[in-house]
Amino acid sequence: MKELKLMKGNEAIAEAAIRAGCDAYFGYPITPQSEILEYLAANAQKRTGMVVLQAESEIASINMVYGAAGCGKRVMTSSSSPGISLMQEGISYIACAELPCLLVNVMRGGPGLGTIQPSQGDYFQTVKGGGHGDYRLITLAPSTIQEAVDFTKLAFDLAFKWRNPVMLLLDGAIGQMMEKVELFSQQERLKEAPDWATVGKPKNRERNIITSLHMQPEDMEKTNQHLQAKYRKIEEEETRFECYKCDDADYIFTGFGLVARIAKKAADIARTKGYKIGVFRPITLFPFPYSEINNLSKKVKAILDVEMNTGQMLEDVKLAVNGNIPVEFHGRTGGMIPTPEEIVAVFEEKIIKRK
């Protein structure tokens, strides 16, 4: 049964979390993601009995997530850039302890306390690891509210499949704007704890221990090797991306999240001017679709990477292209959003005129 609704991005994510059978939410309000906490506080408890708690800080909330995830529950938190920075220690612990959880980052402009307007400045922090140690977050970057809803459900599935934290990375604009969404039906909350969960010791198995402390260097290295093997497997199986008119394209725009939508419009405008342009959008930022971009770089003449930061995904695009073709960049920061016409103008100036 189709259930269509006009919803604000943040509220849609909250609704999707309830429907995905989320057991607990721990968070702390920060613009532009406060509506997630507001919506959950108003609706979740009475509908599914989900725990919704406003912690005293972001650091407290991520550690509450750590504890609840250790019990084998579907658990999530959300914040915006400065709040996610505060959570980094806990995220590193959760990744090392191999626990599933959903983190939502509605990015705002930085660095510092920054601005509350949309930005994509947390790419490095999320994808390269903002916390300490060799860990990775599976990162999903929705570009529409429909995707934000679908990825919330997918994120819980991936988190439990790989026992790894999953980050939903979107910007303030997707969090704040309203769009038509088709909602999935209500899923049941988990009834049984997974076999690794710390829910008391029955007689028929060994004690489950969840820890991120390994005092023996041999132990620590073994944990690292195990994690890396898992990440390589994730890279093989979970890479997701979207191609828009890439088949006959001479040039490619790359971008993730909101910017990819603007780039699609820009590509359509450029096509009326006679330039054959496609748009490549990585949906998972980790694992990054390196080989797909590399394959594209053998077919097209140049790539223009567009982002709402000063060139963070650009480095991964360049790694993927591996010097095959020129890669140019256009970025806006501080809450400014590039327009389609602006992208076309930059494309003409940086790629067409310089040839």
Partner 1 sequence: MAKVKGDIIIDIEKCKGCKLCASACPQVTLELSKKVNSKGYLYIVKVNDKCTGCTNCALVCPEGIITVYRKTLDGNKEHVATITNVSKDINITVKE
Interface residue list for partner 1 (CB under 8 A): 6-8, 11, 31-32, 34, 39, 116, 176-178
Give 47 or 222: the residue with its C-beta nearer to partner 1. 47
Q: Which two tokens stand for residue 208?
A: 């489950």
Give the 3-state secondary structure percentages of the chain, helix then strand then coil, rounded to 5: 45, 20, 35
Give 146 or 324: the residue with its C-beta nearer to partner 1. 146
Q: Are 65 and 75 in contact (CB under 8 A)?
A: yes
CA nearest neighbour of 90 among 71, 69, 114, 72:
69
Q: Which two tokens stand for residue 65?
A: 């997530």
Q: Are 153 and 159 in contact (CB under 8 A)?
A: no
Beta bridge partners of 284: 140
Determine which helix (DSSP H) or strand (DSSP E) holds 315, and give its type and residue range. Answer: helix 313-321
Give 126 or 176: the residue with its C-beta nearer to partner 1. 176
Q: Are 36 and 13 in contact (CB under 8 A)?
A: yes
Query: From the CB of 35, what's the least distance to partner 1, in Å?
Result: 9
Query: From the CB of 346, what's the least distance to partner 1, in Å?
Result: 24
Give 6 or 345: the residue with its C-beta nearer to partner 1. 6
Give 43 or 324: the residue with its C-beta nearer to partner 1. 43
Residue entry with tokens 């920054």: 114
Query: From the CB of 281, what's the least distance to partner 1, in Å?
Result: 24
Query: From the CB of 279, what's the least distance to partner 1, in Å?
Result: 25
Report the Cα 310 to chain-centroid distance in Å: 19
CA nearest neighbour of 106 among 89, 81, 74:
81
Peptide bond into 32 cis (omega under 30): yes
Query: From the CB of 60, what's the least distance to partner 1, in Å?
Result: 22
Q: Could you give the CA distance from residue 200 to residue 203 in angstroms, rounded to a whole number?
A: 10
Peptide bond into 142 cis (omega under 30): no
Query: From the CB of 353, what's the least distance to partner 1, in Å?
Result: 33
Q: Could you give the CA distance from residue 316 to residue 289 in angstroms, rounded to a whole number?
A: 9
From residue 308, give the alpha-carbon distance in Å to each of 247, 339, 343.
Answer: 26, 11, 12
Burial profile 268-291: b = 16 or more Cβ within 10 angstroms, e = fewer: ebbeeeebbbbbbbbbbbbbbbbe
Give 186 or 310: the residue with its C-beta nearer to partner 1. 186
Give 173 or 266: the residue with its C-beta nearer to partner 1. 173
Query: From the CB of 10, what's the least distance to partner 1, in Å?
Result: 10
Q: Are 145 and 12 in contact (CB under 8 A)?
A: yes
Give 146 or 224: the residue with its C-beta nearer to partner 1. 146
Give 32 or 289: the residue with its C-beta nearer to partner 1. 32
Query: From the CB of 186, what's the least distance to partner 1, in Å?
Result: 17
Query: From the CB of 31, what's the least distance to partner 1, in Å?
Result: 5
